[in-house]
Structure 1
């Protein structure tokens, strides 16, 4: 998403370790539920039951740590997803791009200038675009000091390194393809790596992984390559256009300032690519008042830089159906 993380307006609410442990156990139990078989696509979009809604919203929206807990640690780093884990959140979101030598790396901007010291290390390489540097060159950069000197030495992780840490942390991933048009074939490359790392088996594709993009064509490609994988389109399509997205995606993930309760209900009335009511995960919400507002609209998930603030506002129970 094209929003720079900011620090939350209110301090993180404290919580006992026992509470965090209970939440982790509850989430683990939910993740062990039998997966629902993939439904064949209909020739035309199918309407959901009049009630709409989603099992994910049971007890409150799912809270996603945007680029990790990026209000508290440098975005898209291993430190940021570790911070999310320490706060008790298993859903993290990231951004994936490709280097000059074809390596997948986790970084948001198409240039390295905002979140690394690339201008100091490579002063003559402007405009310092990610696609113009090799993975080895990017690995030399400090991706933490810009945020806070305490994080000096943090690196831009490769997607392989990132996935290994997510796996070790027993977390779940909302993976965003950044500007896939600039990297032809990146969808298959990402899926091949995920498959190699064991992330495309049934438990992962039904419980622990969603792939999203602002590019409808890219998400359509992902769906064609792996019809069993959950996908999401980033944006706010007109209600009249929603049915065509339902053919290849499961979620519509809009910016919170662009939606209404009526729009959310319109999404919920459609069955997505896997025969379930389509879902809405909104971004970027970092304050309690806005979190409560979008919860009242009926969203299924909230993507936030400050996941603890949002969870405190909307309730701790998270479900993934």
Structure 2
């Protein structure tokens, strides 16, 4: 391995992707609870807003099989029981666990902020979106949470260094890339601009170790048991 780099966020955050999704049904209270039992220090999920203004957690954002309906067109009481609300998740995990939310519907932003602030968890909320310019527009509204640019290298028209500079200027805290796109050099670039480096889809022991050795500030995995065991020397 190359020389070990230190993370900006120490210790690095161990995010359970959609909860302990290799162990329980994804994005359910059972998966989130299991993740905490296995030692995750962060939870990841996807958030939508119902027609009656409730922030709920689901990946696809639709219900039904033959005739699918978007969650945005449904009331909370019309959703299947396995889809939890964000408030239910916070009631389960409290304010001390990091929470990374993929904002699938921008209309959910205010409800998400309200839920996080209700329990004093805003400082540990990592709000992810695929358009950094939109994140920049939300900075004032979301002044007390971490904003995360979820992107790919091919979307950085002028390269990682330019993107890192743009994120710093806009007050966006972090960048989240697929694990295959992280190198020690890319981590160093974003750290030089004071931006946190997050990596998703880390499913195997050696890969998790490699990412943490590079100095990533947070790693996402479905396999929370592997994540916590591999991360032991780094946390």
Tell me, yes or no, if the aligned pair for 2:49 and 2:105 is still in contact at 8 Å. Answer: no
Q: Indicate the RMSD between aligned Cα atoms, in angstroms.
A: 2.2
Q: What's the CA shift string for 1:186-214, capped at 9, x where partnerless? A: 3223212333x232xxxx444x3222222
Unaligned 5+ runs, structure 2? none
Cα displacement (A) at 1:129 = 2.1
Instruction: Determine if the alignment matches structure 1 residue 87 to structure 2 residue 76.
Output: no
Aligned residues: 224
1:69 to 5, 8, 20: 20
Residue matched to 1:174: 100
**Stretches of 4+ aligned residues off by more than 4 angstroms:** none
Cα displacement (A) at 1:293 = 2.4
2:119 to 166, 178, 198: 198
SS in 1 for 2:140: helix
1:217 and 1:77 map into 2 onto residues whose CA distance is 31
Largest Rg, 1 or 2: 1
Instruction: Determine if the alignment matches structure 1 residue 212 to structure 2 residue 163.
Output: no
The structure carrying a bigger strand percent of its residues is: 2
1:244 to 166, 169, 174: 166
Cα displacement (A) at 1:307 = 1.9
Equivalent positions of 1:153-192 (< 5 A) are 155-167=82-94, 170-180=96-106, 183=107, 186-192=108-114
TM-score for the superposition, normalised by structure 1? 0.64
Residue matched to 1:229: 145
Cα displacement (A) at 1:316 = 5.3
SS in 1 for 2:61: coil
Unaligned 5+ runs, structure 1? 1-51, 113-117, 143-154, 271-276
2:143 and 2:35 map into 1 onto residues whose CA distance is 29
2:203 and 2:171 map into 1 onto residues whose CA distance is 30
2:62 and 2:55 map into 1 onto residues whose CA distance is 15
